[in-house]
Structure 1
Amino acid sequence: MTGQQHIVVIGAGYAGLSAATRAGRRHRVTLVAPETRFRHRVRQHEQAAGRPEHRPDIARVIRGRQVTHVPARVTELDLTARKVFLDNGEALSYDTLVYALGSRTDRQGVPGVAEHALTAERAAEIRRRIAEAPTPGTVAVVGGGATGIELAAELAEAHPAWQVRIVAAGQVGGWFSAKGRAHVLRVLGRLGVQVHEHSPVTAVTAHGLRTDTGTLDADLVAWAASMEPHPLAATAGLAVTPDGRARVDEYLRSVSHPEVYVIGDAAEVTVPGTGTLRMGCATAQPMGLYLGKRLAGRTSAPFAFRYGLQCLSLGRREALVQLIHRDDSMRPTAVRGTLARLTKAAIVNGVVLALR
């Protein structure tokens, strides 16, 4: 990329904000996102449990860069005219667009989720509902993945008077090594979490859950199931996969619109030797870091990535660090206890430092 460009970045998550700060060293960048503070998604379970928030102001992150933050939502993209339309009435023209709207918890397909469940993104409301309850009750966390496990453990530790359940269609932590999964189940048991595996949820009601294996009462349902990409990519006309993720080349450019880069959970990225990357902070921020350097003229190489580990919080006192192969398959080694907790904390804090 030669000469100064006007780059519009939509989305200020791990990928978008990392790309904007680095591209802003050389180019004029407009960052579009409704929030004024960074949403640290890998710490939402802490917020739900009433822990202090760790969300830096976006203004502080972009300070000293040629980046202007517009606190608005994108309503439409005109890829032919190269315009981004916002809910405040503005229309932004761009030379290059960085699409980084990420993903959100999938609420489709199960009746009652929208009416009776709170997704992980609504952590502040989960915290409020628990704090304002007249007496302790039961929380059902739906989802046996990392988000569900971290949320269930955090809630159980912070609110021991509440009964916490974790409900999964398959195994809780079933992708970990045998040693890693055993540690997860052991800690959940120690915290008093009831584990309901192989219990697909068929409906959420005002009184709890209906599953294939029976009914589970709950005063509060926290929905931490699978993620889905934002639908704007498909609506705007970008080439997407059947699940709505944008198809990109080895430089993270849209295969249908090469003036548009797509990063983070919004993109389906396949790396030779590694495979198709999963959604998550672990893959989103490296994409943002790479693209920011590319836009700033600091690299011309294709995007490269390899996995090394997965880490999981299990309350304030425990954690799991699972070693993995470069293709995201499990190694038998899993680190537990204080070393795992300190490693997880260092990684989470390092994510924020890396935003600049």
Structure 2
Amino acid sequence: MPQESENRPSVVVIGGGYAGTRAARELDDIADVILVEPRDSFRHNIGALRATVQPDWAHNIFMSYERLLTRGKVVHERAVRVEPGHVELASGQVLRPDFLVLATGSRYPFPAKDGEESSERSKDNYARTAKELERANHAVILGAGAVGIEMVGEILAQWPGKRVTLLDPSSDVLGGTYPEKLRTALRKMITEAGVDLRLDEGLTELPEAPAGVVAPFTAQTTTGRTIEADLWLRCFGGSVPSDYLAGSLTGARNTSGTVRVGDDMRVERHETVYAVGDIADLGLPTAFLADIQAEVAAKNIRRHIVGEEEGEDAVFADPFPHLVVPFGPGKGTGWLVHQEDLLDDASVAQLKGDHLLVDMYTDKLGLTEGAWTLGH
């Protein structure tokens, strides 16, 4: 395990998701990097919904950190108190970095994300849910955003003809400011698949039965109707955990848990602290933009380390507004900002749906074929 050098500045990255791994790897050659991450593997959450229906595919979302860093190290602990120059871990160990990168991401209800730190326990969760979905006669999916739509598509690709109801209290599918033609195409795709799509309608309260478990229930909707089903999944309600922030960093927190940053990804009023990914209050919370934000932060930290005074700091901008929504491995639609027509099934499968970017992220983590996932 590499040791800290007196001649190299230190960088602590809190969180080993899409943004944190990119920032850590970009700085590994120039700084003493410590990546703090309690989970025992990288979780490729882009593939989590497929893992929910195909347990024999689930190993693809658990990737080793073993080859991420050449000189730095990954510490499998949880940060419990973080302020500039001070990172306290659950074990009591204290790190005193010159630069700090906050990249703790967001939480989301299972199965889109699993909070388990153990890969084996998480694999068991996905395998158990797949068995329950297979047994279910009528699945209710709550939330008609991209996650809910993709979940429905994965279920129907695995079990064609299964009865599925998709509910959302919003007036249309898909949040955000995407083109109406994309929403129209998504509604058409959903209803043509035989899904009972109910917009402007939610449940008055969540079922007493636990999510993802076959247990018949009757639920009342906000329109006065009754739904009888035997399994439900929650596909809405993400949150940003940042209660570990302390000292001056608490002043940069929003009520949502996100942290205020400039377009150089520096935390407001902090010269040596950066925030990237879902915790940053800049841009949409996507893996694509998290990767770009991490690159921007790493470039700016590198400039400070080498003492580069000419030129300007790197700044974040979304270079390619888009949304690709798979509906199982071979179907879906999507929108690219520079393209008039929406993406067809074949294009969505090629860009994302068929492979869910597994190879891309095994490469980003420095992993090779045959060694890039855990337990396979």
| TM-score after normalising by structure 1 | 0.82
Letter in 2 for 1:302: A
Deviations 1:161-195 (A, max 9, x none): 63222111211236543432233223323433221
Show the 5 A alignment for 1:222-261: 222-232=233-243, 237-261=250-274
Deviations 1:37-62 (A, max 9, x none): 21112111111111513235343441
Cross-structure match for 2:335: 322
Unaligned runs of 5+ in 1: 108-117, 270-276, 326-330
8 A Cα contact 1:208 1:220, kept in partner: no
Aligned counterparts of 1:163 and 1:251: Cα–Cα separation in 2: 48
Letter in 2 for 1:100: A
Please, which moves more after superposition, 197-206 or 345-354? 345-354
Unaligned runs of 5+ in 2: 1-6, 115-121, 210-216, 367-376
Aligned counterparts of 2:219 and 2:34: Cα–Cα separation in 1: 44
Show the 5 A alignment for 1:14-29: 14-29=18-33
1:92 pairs with 81, 91, 95, which one?
A: 95
Shift of 1:132: 4.6
Secondary structure of 2:95's partner? strand
Shift of 1:333: 2.8
8 A Cα contact 1:238 1:254, kept in partner: no
Secondary structure of 2:206's partner? strand
Cross-structure match for 1:337: 345
Secondary structure of 2:342's partner? strand
Instruction: Select the structure that is richer in strand.
Output: 1
Letter in 2 for 1:304: F
* Alignment: residue pair count: 329
Whether 1:137 and 2:137 are equivalent positions in the alignment is: yes
8 A Cα contact 1:22 1:292, kept in partner: yes
8 A Cα contact 1:25 1:296, kept in partner: no
Identity, in percent, stands at: 23
8 A Cα contact 1:104 1:228, kept in partner: yes
Show the 5 A alignment for 1:1-356: 4-50=8-54, 52-53=57-58, 54-55=60-61, 57-63=63-69, 65-77=70-82, 79=83, 82-105=85-108, 118-122=110-114, 125=125, 127-132=127-132, 135-160=135-160, 162-170=162-170, 171-173=172-174, 175-205=177-207, 206=209, 207=217, 209-213=219-223, 214-232=225-243, 237-269=250-282, 277-297=283-303, 300-306=312-318, 307-324=320-337, 333-345=341-353, 348=357, 349-355=359-365
Aligned counterparts of 1:193 and 1:322: Cα–Cα separation in 2: 22
Secondary structure of 1:294's partner? helix
Shift of 1:201: 3.3
Deviations 1:96-142 (A, max 9, x none): 1111001112x7xxxxxxxxxx4522485354134157943222211
In angstroms, what is the RMSD of aligned CA positions?
Answer: 2.8
Cross-structure match for 2:373: none
8 A Cα contact 2:45 2:61, kept in partner: no
